[in-house]
Amino acid sequence: MWSLRLRMYLLMAVLFALIYAAITVIGTYFFRVSDFSFYIILSIVMMLIQYMIGPKIVEWSMGVRYLKREENPKLFQMVEELALRANIPAPRIGVASIHIPNAFAFGRGIKDGRVCVTEGILKLLNEDELRAVLGHELSHLKNRDVLTITLLSVIPMIMYRIAWSFMFSGRSRDRGNAALVGLVAFLFYFITNLLVLYASRIREYFADKGSVELGNQPSALASSLYKLVYGSARISKDTLKEAEGLKAFFVNDPSQAMHEIRDLSVLDLDKNGTIDASELAMLRNKTVNLGFGDKLMEALSTHPNMLKRIKRLSSYTA
């Protein structure tokens, strides 16, 4: 897991260096502010705001309702057993009132962790598959990558706002310079967004591995991913759009379901809607070759290519 943390720390350093450089140039040139401490304070304020309001935004966007034990004792038992194995405090457990079958974890840290399932996933997965998904989400909390990705995600948003402001709201006498700064900020937005997407994909691989390390079978997680893909493929485009801004929190990217279902259905040799241990084992010795289009799609996605992801699962043992 130190490999994950090292990559995350390096990405944070690069991303905050980029936004610091952009704000420094803009502040010095347009607002004549050259005091180093000003930018340090501004950066800290932005991170604190994101830290404080991030969980509330997720709760509001997803329609999260926290459960009491008597409402779903089996779900509570699963989460508490996995949390004990992971050696972390048991998170709060909630249900999101959206039909997309999925699950997600968020919070300000391990002690403030929350794990939520959607109404759709409870109807789709069996007990082993649901436990594997919950293990994936608790691994996000254990790895402390939820807070990291939350903080990182604010950087492209800031760069986009800066770009928009300077490209379309510059004063007439500074119009040319403002447009140039806006173009540079938009370039920074594109670069930082790619880096955040890369960080998001890294954490998914490690959360998959973490779920297996918590005692879940790789085939159970592979099968759950397959079911979540075809479950999402049945959801209307309008419903998928409602959760577009928060798909980085999900186990898989619902917007890619129609594309992924074609690849994954090949793995389901007996066509029973699952990927069992024998089917997963057959993938272990195969090579997954992605075309240029698939590689480009992955680079612009919050989640790894699903076929590559399940291929990696085939190399794990519980």
pTM for this entry: 0.83
Respond yes or no: is residue 298 known to be catalytic. no
Contacts of 250 (CB under 8 A, 6+ apart): 100, 102, 103, 104, 243, 303
Kindly tell me if the per-residue pLDDT of 3 is higher than 80.
Answer: no
Question: Residue 198 has what pLDDT?
Answer: 87
Higher pLDDT, 202 or 115: 115
Spatial CA neighbour of 269 closest among 260, 281, 258, 257? 281
Q: What domains are defined for the chain?
A: 2-191 (3.30.2010.10), 218-313 (no CATH)
pLDDT band, very low/low/confident/very high, at 224 (cuts 50, 70, 90):
very high
Mean pLDDT across the stretch 115-119?
A: 94
Question: Residue 19 has what pLDDT?
Answer: 66
Of the residues 71, 119, 127, 137, only one is catalytic, namely: 137
Question: Residue 313 has what pLDDT?
Answer: 95
Spatial CA neighbour of 217 closest among 135, 142, 155, 284? 135
Q: Under a CB-based contact definition with an 8 Å cutoff, are residues 4 and 145 in contact?
A: yes
> What is the greatest pairwise CA distance in the chain?
69
Mean pLDDT across the stretch 121-138?
A: 96
Kindly tell me if the per-residue pLDDT of 177 is higher than 80.
Answer: no
Question: Residue 75 has what pLDDT?
Answer: 97
Q: What percent of the chain has pLDDT over 70?
A: 81
* Least confidently predicted of 29-33, 45-49, 236-240: 29-33
Q: Under a CB-based contact definition with an 8 Å cutoff, are residues 88 and 111 in contact?
A: no
